Amino acid sequence: MRALVLAVIMLLAALGAPAMAQAAAVASVASPDGRVRIDITIDGEGWAHYAVSRDGKPLIAPSRLGFQFTDQDAIGRNSRFVSSETSSRNTRWEQPWGERRFVTDAHNELLVRLASPGASNALTDNRAERPIAIRFRAFDNGIGFRYEFAARADGKPWRIADELTEFVIAAPGTAWWIQAGDWNRYEYLYHHTAIGEVSAAHTPMTVKLADGTHLAFHEAALVDYSAMWLKRVDGLRFRATLSPSSRGAKVERSGAFTTPWRSIRIADDAAGLYDNDLELNLNDPNVLGEVSWFTPHKYVGVWWEMHLESKSWASGATHGATNANVKRHIDFAAKHGFRGVLVEGWNKGWDGNWFGNGRDFDFAQSYPDFDLPDLAAYARKQGVRLIGHHETGGNIAKYEAGLDAALDLYARHGVDAVKTGYVADAGGIIAPGDAPGEQRMEWHDGQRMAQHHLRVVREAAERRIAVNPHEPIKDTGLRRTYPNWVSREGARGGEYQAWGTPGNGPAHAPTLVFTRMLAGPMDYTPGVLSLKGRGGRDLESTLARELALYVVLYSPIQMVADLPENLEAHPREMDFIRKVPTDWAQTRVLAGAVGELAVLARQDRNGPDWYIGGVTDTQPREVVIDTAFLPAGTRWRAHIWRDGDTADYRTAARHDIVIEQKPVTAGDRMTIRMAAGGGFAVRLEAIE
Ligand code: NOJ
Ligand code: CA
């Protein structure tokens, strides 16, 4: 018996070896600097593979390309190479707002056309050969590819059961990742494990190979398609797994269509992963035209007090969204120059346990103690705008039915930004079905939600309203195409500092920078200067670190989250928050190690000043900032907010802060110490 097994194994090996040996190179493309290379091969079984290398060193070993369908044969094995063509692009485009004003898009492109034999099974009469094209782009700092489907020959919709796209990481290393397919959407602390210990991960997933090379796997332009999870199949081999759908097929598309781009950032270090515009470059240009009606800004809100449980979203004696309380916040915002006042709990539906109140939320009916027209007018007179709030409880059937009226109401009163919310466990979105009254359960990141979010963003854009979803679908750079999609949550935000078990902990922010933030802006909600959460619990932070977050975690809308009275008690820290911009001309990572530290410098988009923010994990660290990035010939005054000598996130000394000023000339070195769990913020004021 053993001999027979051995013989069979040897026979299989003998069959397999020539199959691999027969793998034919069919096309390749290199990045503009020639270092990054994508090679396309077709193996002896007809599987198309792509491989990625840099300087000849493999990063992605040959990885399969293909699809499974619910009603016809897969596209994968037995594919035939048809043709390929290449092209190049080198342009610079301007962001209306962002981490940097100008973005360079320099890449070489390879379009590979394949054909797959017609479906042979009994489910379809689609006998025609099926063409499929794959468009690859090689950049100096990453690659992207997407599939381009022609319409089905039989006129039926494509019904994708799953992708067969693989990512075979070519060398061992470690990964920073959050689990996909679990109940709490994207709201987890990041795991840091060997690559071989990842189960299924959301993207971006960040990887550091043994030689120090950093990769980040993600996707761009997630439009009318399900989000990609990365499932580790074996060893270092991952396969795209699409978020589920209630309809069987995870994606259903009629006619010709393109998939989102699968993207891999490639860098020498963590800093290079962040200073990288790969997914923005893979997205389509702005389709909204002139969007100066959106102004990046800071905002306060009737919000933190609900998370502290000193006020309620629900009506009654502790109701937060009362006329008097909102006016108090408007006055506070006006006094400090903050443009926005978010008000949650203003509309009917929050009574009882609001988790699961999706069918009760009414987006056009205020509670009687909240007078929207009066408050909106009161705010505008002081140069302040209310920020709207639509918590859906995940019931998009209800929300979509009332969407027009809800947005019209805000537009009528000059409310030009809305925070949306989808609080429901993952997979618990209630969507309209096909028959009247029918409802279906969907995932937060499935095709139906990709459609929903874009519908809200488009409807809002028509009314010149900006959108900031919480419990969102992940960011894939669509802000380039729809610049009113200004921010989102999509990770553990600052609210976990109030009540999370555990809290976010010091490693979270320096991990976010090189994972979640690669996707795009996050409404983290910093600025809790009291360092106090629910029930008086202490935040795992320091006072200087709360300021650093405004520079470190980018968003064009930044909350100043604490209660007005707590903020007023910190005039010297408020001096930084008042001045720190929310829109930048340039951004640079000065120091970074995933999960350990992040030091970022950004220049104000509307002036010469630079700002620097740094955060560390539980380790105190001294960073030496080389100011050679500053333009020569200007003198600067550095305003520094740093951890005091005794500061420590675990003790009452978390409040210990030193605020000082120093003259700086370009090229000077500034040494700043961060306490355990601490950080620092610097404003470099150009003085002549
Ligand atoms: C979750 C959001 O992240 C939070 O900011 C909001 O206050 C609640 N949902 C209620 O909508
Ligand atoms: Ca949330």
**CB-CB contact of 460 with 418 (8 Å):** yes
Among all chains, which residue has been given the structure tokens 């022609």?
A: 150
Q: How confident is the model at residue 3 (pLDDT cuts 50, 70, 90)?
A: very low
Determine phi and psi for 518, rounding to 5 degrees: -65, -25
247-289 residue pLDDT tens:
999 999 999 999 999 999 999 999 999 999 999 999 999 999 9
- Atom in ligand 1 nearest the alpha carbon of residue 470: 3
In whole angstroms, give the CA distance from residue 617 to residue 509: 8
- Atom in ligand 1 nearest the alpha carbon of residue 421: 11
Q: How far is the CA of 393 from the centre of ligand 1 (A)?
A: 10
**CB-CB contact of 424 with 442 (8 Å):** no
Query: CB neighbours of 647 closer than 8 A, spacing ≥ 6?
Result: 542, 543, 544, 653, 654, 655, 656, 657, 675, 678
In whole angstroms, give the CA distance from residue 265 to residue 274: 9
Query: Residue 443 — left, alpha, or beta (φ > 0 → left; ψ -120 to 50 → alpha)?
Result: beta
By percentage, how much of the chain surpasses pLDDT 70?
Answer: 97
Query: Residue 98 — left, alpha, or beta (φ > 0 → left; ψ -120 to 50 → alpha)?
Result: left
In whole angstroms, give the CA distance from residue 579 to residue 686: 14
| CATH number listed for the domain at residues 25-281 | 2.70.98.10
Residue 122 tokens, joined: 């009994």
pLDDT of the residue at 410: 98
Among all chains, which residue has been given the structure tokens 């506070």?
A: 332
Q: Check pLDDT > 50 for residue 688.
A: yes
Among all chains, which residue has been given the structure tokens 């290398």?
A: 53
385-409 residue pLDDT tens:
999 999 999 999 999 999 999 999 9
By percentage, how much of the chain surpasses pLDDT 90?
Answer: 94
Residue 655 CB burial class (10 angstroms; 0-12, 13-18, ≥19): middle
Q: Check pLDDT > 50 for residue 12.
A: no
CATH 3.20.20.70-classified regions of the chain: 295-489, 491-555+563-688
Q: How far is the CA of 262 from the centre of ligand 1 (A)?
A: 30
**CB-CB contact of 385 with 333 (8 Å):** no
Mean pLDDT, residues 328-333: 99
**CB-CB contact of 537 with 571 (8 Å):** no
> In angstroms, what CA-CA distances link 380 with 160, 314, 375, 387, 460?
49, 26, 9, 12, 20
Q: How confident is the model at residue 4 (pLDDT cuts 50, 70, 90)?
A: very low
Ligand positioned closest to the Cα atom of 344: 1
**CB-CB contact of 230 with 238 (8 Å):** yes
Q: Check pLDDT > 60 for residue 100.
A: yes
The maximal CA–CA distance of the chain, rounded, in angstroms, is 89
Ligand positioned closest to the Cα atom of 321: 1
Which CATH fold topology does 491-555+563-688 show? TIM Barrel (3.20.20)
Q: How far is the CA of 587 from the centre of ligand 2 (A)?
A: 27
pLDDT of the residue at 682: 98
Q: How far is the CA of 470 from the centre of ligand 2 (A)?
A: 6
- Atom in ligand 1 nearest the alpha carbon of residue 354: 10
What is the best residue among 300, 470, 488, 558 to mutate for testing ligand 1's pocket, by most ligand atoms within 8 Å of CB? 470
Which residues pair with residue 147 across a beta bridge?
Answer: 134
Q: Mean pLDDT of all residues in the chain?
A: 96
Residue 4 tokens, joined: 């027979």
* Length in residues, the chain: 688
- Who lines ligand 1 at CB under 6 A? 303, 344, 391, 421, 423, 470, 489, 493, 495
| CATH number listed for the domain at residues 295-489 | 3.20.20.70
Residue 184 tokens, joined: 């709490």
Q: How far is the CA of 188 from the centre of ligand 1 (A)?
A: 16
Query: Quick one: the chain helix, strand, coil %, rounded to 5?
Result: 20, 35, 45
183-226 residue pLDDT tens:
999 999 999 999 999 999 999 999 999 999 999 999 999 999 99
In whole angstroms, give the CA distance from residue 656 to residue 676: 12
Say what the pTM is: 0.96
Judging by DSSP bridges, how do beta strands 597-604 and 610-616 pair with one another? antiparallel
Q: Atom 3, ligand 1: which residue's CA is nearest?
A: 470
pLDDT of the residue at 6: 38
Q: How far is the CA of 462 from the centre of ligand 2 (A)?
A: 27
pLDDT of the residue at 2: 42
Judging by DSSP bridges, how do beta strands 261-267 and 257-258 pair with one another? unpaired
CATH 2.70.98.10-classified regions of the chain: 25-281
Judging by DSSP bridges, how do beta strands 142-149 and 261-267 pair with one another? antiparallel
Q: How far is the CA of 357 from the centre of ligand 1 (A)?
A: 13
Mean pLDDT, residues 498-524: 98
Ligand positioned closest to the Cα atom of 185: 2
Q: How far is the CA of 376 from the centre of ligand 2 (A)?
A: 26
In whole angstroms, give the CA distance from residue 456 to residue 466: 10
In whole angstroms, give the CA distance from residue 688 to residue 682: 18
Q: Atom 2, ligand 1: which residue's CA is nearest?
A: 470
pLDDT of the residue at 379: 98
**DSSP per-residue letters across 578-613:** HH--SSEEEEEEEEEETTTEEEEEEEETTSS-EEEE
Mean pLDDT, residues 340-357: 96
Nearest C-alpha neighbor of 141 from the set 104, 93, 97 = 104
What is the best residue among 302, 495, 534 to mutate for testing ligand 1's pocket, by most ligand atoms within 8 Å of CB? 495
Q: Atom 8, ligand 1: which residue's CA is nearest?
A: 421
pLDDT of the residue at 221: 99
Amino acid making up residue 324 = A
pLDDT of the residue at 20: 47
In whole angstroms, give the CA distance from residue 517 to residue 511: 9
Ligand positioned closest to the Cα atom of 311: 1
Among all chains, which residue has been given the structure tokens 């399900």?
A: 226
Q: Check pLDDT > 80 for residue 21.
A: no
